[in-house]
Structure 1
């Protein structure tokens, strides 16, 4: 039986998560305004439940980021790390790139879809001209699928089709598969 990686950590509530979302938007705006770079890549884990960060989730984040950076390099995309967070609400990296947003998003989607660790991540791509992150549907692609089934992830999240325990068990299994 797989050991849960969610037995420790500081539980977060919606107020804390939303406050970090506001901090994220301010930092994204600041980074894009201050740089001549075309594209911002913002990478974080999708973590269900109140525990958003602990030693295990940090290890998943670091291992996944290494995969992402390898994919970016293999696709000849230059992305430079400009900020990094390790907060109770989770880890997050902010990269700037002079590459076209479309190309960065293609690499990010490959990372999210084709690697086991990447499935746990949300890699948003923004530009100073955009009001929101570039979406898969804008690129003519279907929405991300759920960790546990083939339905669109947002549909499962909205309907709470899967329990937090089921989703956390999946993440714990990914941890065991990749980091033990």
Structure 2
């Protein structure tokens, strides 16, 4: 399967802002309906093309990683919705688990899965209606994909070109896929 990040439709800033507004509405609706912690999954994809074969691959792998974690830890998914638009793929999940524990599981996935750095897995507390922060758990801020400085600092300063970032993203995916193939063939 060929994975590309250029095989989608470019979007405008206005479309992105409207998508973020819709995501917040979807989160609020899920919190009101299920009264459980909410996972809001999106992808870390630079540039104006947010829905591509590469993005869909990353989204599918994120869902698999979350499901695997929940299964291994006996965590129940109350409801799960996926949204696929030109502005990107997203998932909203209502989870039966304490918000703090859920955030720790999600940070572990983001920090330790080979593709985890490419996922943004937010956990929203149904009581405070706020997203839990890594700093609440004394966890380090996420690192830049390219230079390993604080990601938000590099993003604000626009230190790296989209092509530099995509090169790292594609390397991560290639290494991940090679390891999957190796695991499949070594168990035969």
Counterpart in 2 of 1:21?
20
Contact 1:81/1:93 (<8 A) preserved: no
Of 81, 92, 110 in structure 2, the residue corresponding to residue 112 of structure 1 is: 110
Asked whether the 8 Å contact 1:40–1:96 carries over to 2, the reply is yes
Is the 2:146–2:165 contact (alpha carbons within 8 Å) kept by the matching residues of 1?
yes
Residue by residue, what CA displacement relative to the aligned partner does 1:96-144 show, whole Å, maximum 9, x if unpaired? 1121101100010011010111110000000222243100001221111
Report if aligned partners of 1:60, 1:179 keep a CA contact under 8 Å in 2.
Answer: no
Which of structures 1 and 2 has the bigger CA Rg?
A: 2
1:92 is matched with which residue? 90
**Cα deviation, residue 165, structure 1:** 0.9
Residue 87 to residue 72, structure 1, CA distance change in 2 (3 Å): same
Between 1 and 2, higher relative CO (CA 8 Å, sep ≥ 6) is seen in 1
Q: Are 1:71 and 2:69 matched, yes or no? A: yes
1:28 and 1:150 map into 2 onto residues whose CA distance is: 31
Q: TM-score, normalised by structure 1?
A: 0.91
Which 5+ residue runs of structure 1 have no aligned equivalent?
Answer: none
TM-score between both structures, scaled by the size of structure 2: 0.87
Residues 85 and 93 in structure 1, CA contact (< 8 A), matched pair in contact too: yes
| Structure 1 residue 178 corresponds to structure 2 residue 171 | no
4+ residue segments displaced more than 6 Å:
none
How far is the alpha carbon of 1:73 from its aligned partner? 2.2
Coordinate RMSD, CA, aligned: 1.7
Q: Find the aligned partners of 2:80 and 2:5 in 1 and give their Cα distance.
A: 29
- In 2, Cα distance between equivalents of 1:123 and 1:69: 13
